[in-house]
């Protein structure tokens, strides 16, 4: 009747749980629901009807309480039994102890022959389990099948469905493992262990009629998941080197990326945080080593959206604004190679640098070369890729031959983790976009990549191959013209193409192009002169290979009544990263990209000028154009001089942000006024310099504007003996 009791299972205790009272007269079975060794004692307890006598205390093996090892059972394993002022362990010993020290039906027969055979089978049980587990990496059907044949033969020795005829401790010792092996082999290998083994099938069927057993069975899906990760995806060297089981079984759900609208996590609150980005190969390095060392619960992932990253990351966390960075022990450190070493040496888990001096020396050589490796392959995308990129993979193939084993130092190390994120991406991209298989003729590289793909710590961090191809094609292959056509394909492409870093990369590429922008005056078919901007493209022999004009969206209406030769229609007001800023004398300003043959006319001014005692006009003073590295955007600064007749009013300053596509006024000059010459300007290291005259003193001056700080200053000068002398500059005399 006791076997019919359906108990409510208590929740598993983790590291935050309080310890139950020790030796208070309660008999406790410390167990774990997933553990087959602990299931042996659990079945025995249930079968003997001891649910009210022996209390279950399940533990979370992936986050077990410290008090269990320190105060209850020093081996820190399950099962263990607290009874009569002592704690004992070892599952085979415990099933005998429970059987002989508690009431209920005996689970060992009196027949000496059966008892002797029972001891033989119990002694063999660990061999049985070990042989089947080992078969997962060999000829599973043959090796595992031999063990189930052993069990089939053992079931024939005595009459009855069980190993000794009737159920005994021997059956209880085997069934938790057979249960799991049966489910896993069928799902993973399509091997039915009962096929051709009728007695084994009958034995399993008979067990499934017993409530004492059925109440302890593990979830088949969980069994398959755990065994797949534990035995199929984990290479031999990883288990031998002592990585924690938790690191192989924990499948974390990656948190969403934080964008500019996200709140900052608390800083230096005792939590260790890895600021990362899922797409970034540099951040990938730190993510892999975190997982490999089983630190998922020690180091919290904080992924950032690189296309729209939060301002607080640069301002309060990591001033370089790059990933990865690690917040630990009251400081934030970065640089991916440095982080590999830091995490390896400052956290528990298997060491990822060998003790062998020769291997350590080679490790440093390879780590130092990694950036050269990556840079050479990226540069090859604009040259002879097959030759230049493959030379780097030949280097890696040769390096893999230096020591025995599938990895660069024989066993996995920091060096492998430094290279794999980039090799993964290059392999995908080169194969898909350029039809180059980097593994062809490189067997050691093939084995290296295959071995990595058995490691959960790496597999959980892999990036979507389609996303790799999509991004790498846009970053490295497409022209600016093509990119602009793709701007509206989808939100992710729009965000990527408009990301300042991405824009800057493509504009910087224009420096390597042999193009010249030429401003010229031509006579059109109507006999009128007009200004034309043309692009001259040079070939390798320095001859002009093509010429094309850049269309400009001029304002409609009459042209200024000035000679083209005295004052041209258009002035070049500045250039930056391949873009050109132009203005005409109707105060219109244009941004032109000669490479894409496109121009944008900027919106009209937002300045509102009061009109006391008559009309006040706006005179366009000076214009500056540049790239603000701080905010990652292009800006146009414009100084406007309001005037009425001969009266000049204080200058007004407004700024245009390219991404926001609007002007805004800044208060920077106060009541000071300057008249600057539009033809004399310079842009250097984020600051504009204009030559002008201070009004009303008439002194010559240099007006400066800091693009990032948006701060305008004046350097007042006067002329002595034909030389400029700086009279005042930021409060100092020169």
The residues spanned by each domain of the chain are 2-101, 112-225, 247-346, 357-473, 482-512, 603-728
- Which is it for the CA torsion 123, 125, 126, 130, positive or negative? positive
Task: Please give the Cα distance from 562 to 549 (Å, whole number).
Answer: 24
| 438, 430 Cβ separation under 8 angstroms | yes
Task: Please give the Cα distance from 141 to 189 (Å, whole number).
Answer: 8
- Predicted confidence band of residue 592 (pLDDT cuts 50, 70, 90): confident
Strand partners, 28: 55, 82
Calculate mean pLDDT across residues 452-461: 89
CA 55, 57, 63 angle in degrees (round to 5)? 180
Task: Return the percentage of the chain with pLDDT > 90, whole number.
Answer: 48
The distance of Cα 165 from the centroid of its chain, to the nearest Å, equals: 58
Task: Give the length of the chain.
Answer: 734
Calculate mean pLDDT across residues 325-346: 95
Over 76-112, what HEC string results? CCCCEEEECCEEEECHHHHHHHHHHHCCCCCCCCCCH
On the 0-12 / 13-18 / 19+ scale of CB atoms within 10 A, 628 is: buried
pLDDT at 551: 54
Is 50 exceeded by the pLDDT of residue 234?
no
pLDDT at 452: 94
pLDDT at 273: 96
Task: Please give the Cα distance from 294 to 271 (Å, whole number).
Answer: 16
pLDDT at 565: 30
pLDDT digits (tens, 9 = 90+) for 192-224: 999 999 999 999 999 999 999 999 999 998 898
Q: 164-168, 265-269, 288-292, 573-577: lowest mean pLDDT where?
A: 573-577
Greater confidence (630 vs 507) lies with: 630
Calculate mean pLDDT across residues 631-647: 74
Q: Which two tokens stand for residue 467?
A: 């996303």
**Torsion of the alpha carbons at 245, 247, 251 and 254, rounded to the nearest 10:** 170
pLDDT at 568: 46
- Predicted confidence band of residue 450 (pLDDT cuts 50, 70, 90): very high
pLDDT digits (tens, 9 = 90+) for 505-557: 554 444 445 556 666 666 666 776 666 666 665 544 445 445 556 555 444 43
Calculate mean pLDDT across residues 321-345: 95
Is 50 exceeded by the pLDDT of residue 265?
yes
| 681, 655 Cβ separation under 8 angstroms | no
CATH class of 112-225: mainly alpha
pLDDT at 597: 60
pLDDT at 39: 97
Is 90 exceeded by the pLDDT of residue 388?
yes
Task: Please give the Cα distance from 212 to 4 (Å, whole number).
Answer: 7
pLDDT at 397: 97
167-176, 233-242, 649-658, 667-676 — most confident range: 167-176
Greater confidence (639 vs 186) lies with: 186
**Torsion of the alpha carbons at 576, 578, 584 and 586, rounded to the nearest 10:** -70
pLDDT at 1: 37
- Predicted confidence band of residue 225 (pLDDT cuts 50, 70, 90): confident
| 28, 87 Cβ separation under 8 angstroms | no
Report, in angstroms and rounded to the nearest whole number, the Rg of the chain calculated over CA atoms. 38
- Predicted confidence band of residue 57 (pLDDT cuts 50, 70, 90): very high
- Predicted confidence band of residue 702 (pLDDT cuts 50, 70, 90): confident
pLDDT digits (tens, 9 = 90+) for 273-332: 999 999 899 999 999 999 998 888 899 999 999 878 899 999 999 999 999 999 999 999
Is 90 exceeded by the pLDDT of residue 652?
no
Give the homologous superfamily in CATH for domain 247-346: Glutaredoxin (3.40.30.10)
Same fold across 2-101 and 112-225: no
| 55, 28 Cβ separation under 8 angstroms | yes
pLDDT at 586: 63
| CATH number listed for the domain at residues 357-473 | 1.20.1050.10
Of 335, 331, 266, 345, the closest CA to residue 302 belongs to 266
Full-model pTM: 0.44
pLDDT digits (tens, 9 = 90+) for 143-164: 999 999 999 999 999 999 999 9
Greater confidence (276 vs 381) lies with: 276
pLDDT at 557: 39
Greater confidence (729 vs 20) lies with: 20
Q: Specify the CATH architecture of the domain 2-101.
A: 3-Layer(aba) Sandwich (3.40)
Calculate mean pLDDT across residues 26-40: 95
Is 90 exceeded by the pLDDT of residue 501?
no
Q: What is the mean pLDDT of the chain?
A: 81
């Amino acid at each position: 009747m006791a076997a019919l009791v359906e108990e409510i299972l208590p929740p598993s205790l983790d590291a935050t749980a309080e310890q139950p009272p020790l030796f208070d007269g309660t008999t406790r079975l410390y167990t774990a629901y997933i553990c087959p060794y602990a299931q042996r004692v659990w079945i025995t307890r249930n079968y003997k009807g001891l649910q009210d006598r022996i209390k279950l205390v399940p533990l979370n093996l992936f986050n077990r309480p410290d008090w269990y090892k320190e105060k209850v059972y020093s081996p820190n394993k399950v099962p263990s039994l607290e009874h009569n002022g002592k704690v004992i362990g070892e599952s085979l010993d415990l099933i005998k102890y429970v059987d002989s020290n508690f009431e209920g039906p005996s689970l060992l027969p009196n027949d000496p022959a059966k008892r002797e055979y029972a001891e033989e089978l119990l002694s063999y049980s660990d061999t049985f389990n070990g042989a089947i587990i080992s078969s997962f990496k060999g000829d599973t059907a043959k090796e595992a099948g031999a063990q189930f044949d052993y069990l089939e033969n053992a079931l024939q020795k005595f009459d009855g469905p069980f190993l000794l005829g009737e159920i005994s401790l021997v059956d209880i010792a085997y069934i938790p493992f057979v249960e799991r092996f049966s489910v896993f082999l069928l799902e993973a290998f399509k091997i039915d262990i009962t096929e051709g083994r009728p007695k084994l099938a009958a034995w399993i069927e008979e067990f499934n009629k017993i409530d004492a057993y059925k109440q302890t069975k593990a979830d088949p899906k969980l069994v398959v998941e755990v065994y797949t990760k534990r035995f199929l995806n984990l290479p031999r060297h990883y288990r031998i080197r002592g990585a924690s089981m938790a690191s192989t079984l924990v499948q974390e759900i990656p948190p969403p990326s934080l964008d500019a609208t996200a709140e900052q996590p608390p800083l230096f609150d005792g939590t260790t945080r890895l600021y990362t980005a899922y797409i970034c190969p540099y951040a990938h390095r730190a993510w892999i080593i975190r997982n490999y060392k089983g630190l998922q619960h020690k180091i919290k992932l904080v992924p950032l959206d690189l296309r729209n990253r939060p301002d607080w990351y640069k301002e309060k966390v990591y001033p370089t604004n790059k990933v990865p960075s690690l917040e630990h022990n009251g400081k934030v450190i970065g640089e991916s190679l440095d982080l590999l070493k830091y995490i390896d040496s400052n956290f528990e888990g298997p060491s990822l640098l060998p003790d062998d001096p020769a291997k350590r020396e080679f490790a440093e050589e390879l780590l130092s070369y990694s950036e050269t490796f990556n840079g050479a392959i990226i540069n090859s995308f604009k040259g002879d890729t097959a030759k230049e990129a493959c030379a780097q993979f030949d280097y890696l193939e040769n390096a893999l031959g230096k020591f025995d084993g599938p990895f660069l130092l024989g066993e996995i190390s920091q060096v492998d983790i430094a290279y794999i994120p980039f090799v993964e991406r290059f392999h995908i991209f080169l194969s898909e976009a350029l039809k180059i298989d980097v593994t062809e003729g490189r067997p050691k590289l093939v084995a290296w990549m295959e071995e990595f793909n058995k490691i959960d710590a790496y597999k959980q961090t892999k990036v979507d191959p389609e996303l790799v191809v999509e991004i790498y094609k846009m970053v490295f292959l497409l022209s600016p013209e093509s990119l602009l056509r793709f701007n509206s394909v989808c939100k992710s492409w729009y965000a990527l193409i408009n990301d300042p870093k991405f824009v800057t990369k493509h504009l910087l590429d224009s420096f390597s192009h042999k193009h010249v922008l030429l401003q010229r005056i031509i006579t059109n078919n109507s006999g009128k002169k007009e200004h034309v901007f043309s692009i001259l493209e040079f070939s390798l022999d320095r001859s002009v290979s093509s010429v094309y004009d850049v269309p400009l969206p001029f304002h409609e209406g009459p042209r200024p009544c000035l000679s083209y030769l005295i004052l041209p229609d258009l002035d070049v007001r500045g250039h930056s990263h391949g873009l050109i800023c132009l203005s005409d004398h109707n105060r219109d300003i244009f941004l032109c990209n000669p490479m894409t043959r496109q121009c944008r006319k900027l919106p009209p001014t937002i300045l509102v000028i009061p009109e006391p005692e008559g009309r006040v006009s706006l005179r366009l003073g000076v214009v500056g154009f540049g790239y603000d590295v701080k905010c990652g955007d292009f800006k146009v600064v414009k100084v406007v001089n309001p005037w009425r007749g001969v009266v000049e009013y204080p200058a007004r300053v407004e700024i245009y942000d390219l991404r926001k596509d609007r002007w805004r006024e800044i208060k920077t000059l106060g009541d000071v006024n300057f008249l600057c010459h539009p033809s004399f300007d310079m842009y250097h290291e984020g600051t504009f310099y204009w030559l002008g005259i201070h009004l009303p003193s008439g002194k010559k001056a240099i007006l400066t504007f800091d693009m990032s700080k948006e701060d305008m200053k004046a350097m007042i000068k006067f002329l002595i003996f034909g030389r400029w002398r700086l009279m005042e500059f930021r409060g100092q005399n020169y």
